[in-house]
Chain A
């Protein structure tokens, strides 16, 4: 199972600082991870852990240098040999895969550093090679435009397709994401659709150019459990059919068990533990991962008191040193090494690493 293939997206030494008054506060601190073709990596963490900032940095969506400093690398590999790429696209569109003047995926044969390439180059990559879906589909959709038109607009922006052809492709994408009676629904405005349908529209838009990487930032957090399940099923199906890689950002560690292959647990802007989902959730190494798993109420878990992590998520600081979890840690609270020296990720059992002095 160990992936010998090259990662499609390789992030290294990623740090992000935000300017607050005259200080630069570090929100993401030296984060590194690799996303492999056709796999799902979940970035899991509580609010303030830096998971969303990480994904925004990769997409180049953070504010400019006056408010925000980004350092590190995010290499997007050439994916022309991607498996599953010939998977049949919805048949009703009557047209071939969208062609772009930049080859099937826009980028050249060499890896592109998303953090170093300019806005122009990024524009060709975003939407075409990396797409993103957000938590709140209502605010991400234009209320004054029909949903079909919005999907068609994305197609027109990134491909040669125009007019009726783009509309037809939009309808076929809507069918693909499981919208019943798509031809009629395409003429609806977003407010006419339920939350689950709106999220399907967002997914259809994200898929418009058959991206290599889909970043899903809390894609089901605003949805009911039954709808959440449908959306996750849809994402998994589409991922398998298209050989797409997915970066799932979530606060819900139980979702990770359902859909991800690898997991990276974030705390205070750093990845504290990463590994294969099954091993990591079954035998977590880092005290934070252990505590996080223990405090989730489980079905059939019975009554009684829940395990808690005392204290709160640490505030942002300029130069974080030591383990950020130390004040709340059962094993390391008060320990000099934990407080003053920053632990780095160390390999443990098969495909699992943790950043902890006490592990």
Chain B
């Protein structure tokens, strides 16, 4: 009973290595995060920032060091049989609904398979459950007899969500769930996810590169860069008062419909460089090579997440973070 006060998912010091020997790389570097019950946490960052790898490590799809605690149970130490019941509670919705649905199974079979595997329903109750699940995601009972290729992209994503919900999970990891969809369909899926959360009390870890979607959808936002968390805060705060220069760069890059700004594409924005450019200093801030505010101090140690002065729940990993809502240039803070 005490556990209700602990977060549903608690990740501590998670590190993922890939490759061997000289090519061994840290893809996820010392990441800690938590997801409360009923909360939606957004994970943003460019490609290569380690978002998806982090998600896969939490799901135990790849090996990792550190600690992943789901509702009081340490997942990284479980194996085989003991892991199966925990897997039921942690599900994933993929970006590509075509590649993640078996083309030779009907939708009904796709959704029934995990129900039978985890023995959640028996006999005829399975079909009733499938119909109920289809109804939740806005599909009709007769859709159960069709194959994935007979559906549109948005409907396929509904099937993917339906399959994830079939095992009654507590936490749904959504990896770019709307990125492959048209905007009108994207809105339908986001609304559906919100409705399901209200109905089932689900928690979401929502991975997206679309900052506008994340701002709209998430309670808390985590910004990743080169495998590390560089900023974390409540969603409204991250976007209205970003503390880390990288978060600012991301925000500045979002194309906007705000016509008062006119065509905002300008020449020579100071901080913009190719992500691949420049090798980050060993043992320094990974963003320093792209950062307009970088100082010699930035290469003398990896900055750790520290509270942004004067703001609760807001942390940033930058030595230049100052109490004001702007980063003061040429003024390193010890």
Contacts and interface: CB of A to CB of B under 8 A. Distances in A.
Given A292-B183, A299-B256, A308 B188 contact: yes
Interface string A301-320: 11101111110110000000
Interface in A191-239: 194-197, 224-230, 232-233, 236-237
A226 B275 CA distance: 9
A56 interface: no
B282 interface: no
Interface stretch (B6-14, B246-254, B294-302): B246-254
B266 A312 contact: no
A14 B268 CA distance: 39
* Count class of interface residues, chain A: 35 or more
B191 A306 contact: yes
Contacts of A329: none
A303 B214 CA distance: 10
B259 A281 contact: yes
Nearest to B188: A308
A255 B46 contact: no
A295 B183 CA distance: 7
B73 interface: no
Given A226-B250, A251-B183, A233 B215 contact: no
A281 B258 CA distance: 9
B194 interface: yes
A172 to B, nearest CB: 20
B27 interface: no
A46 B211 contact: no
A112 interface: no
A201 to B, nearest CB: 13
Interface residues on B, range: 35 or more
Contacts, number: 145
B38 to A, nearest CB: 14
A258 B263 contact: yes
Nearest to A192: B276
B188 A296 contact: no
B209 A224 contact: yes
A308 B256 contact: no
B263 A312 contact: no
A259 B152 contact: no
Nearest to B45: A224
Contacts of B46: 224-227
> By CB atoms of chain A within 10 A, which of B209, B255, B268 has the most?
B255
B259 A297 contact: no
B148 interface: no
Contacts of A301: 212, 215-216
Given A254-B255, A254-B257, A301-B215, A308 B274 contact: no
B264 interface: yes
A180 to B, nearest CB: 7
A87 interface: no
Interface string B32-74: 0000000000000011000000000000000000000000000
B257 A298 contact: yes
A252 interface: yes
B257 A303 contact: no
Contacts of A236: 263, 265, 267
A306 B212 contact: no
Contacts of B254: 225, 254, 299
A81 interface: no
A285 to B, nearest CB: 16
Given A46-B182, A46-B184, A300-B239, A225 B267 contact: no
A224 B212 contact: no
Nearest to A279: B259
Contacts of A180: 277
| A-B interface, 6 closest residue pairs, ranked by CB to CB distance from nearest | A297-B216, A295-B187, A306-B187, A46-B182, A309-B184, A224-B46
6 contacts: A46-B184, A196-B274, A233-B269, A253-B183, A297-B213, A306-B191
Interface of B: 46-47, 152-155, 182-188, 190-191, 194, 209-213, 215-217, 239-240, 249-259, 263-269, 272, 274-277
Given A225-B254, A301-B216, A312-B154, 16 more contacts: A196-B275, A197-B276, A224-B47, A226-B275, A227-B274, A251-B182, A252-B255, A253-B257, A258-B256, A259-B263, A296-B183, A296-B187, A297-B210, A299-B256, A301-B212, A301-B215
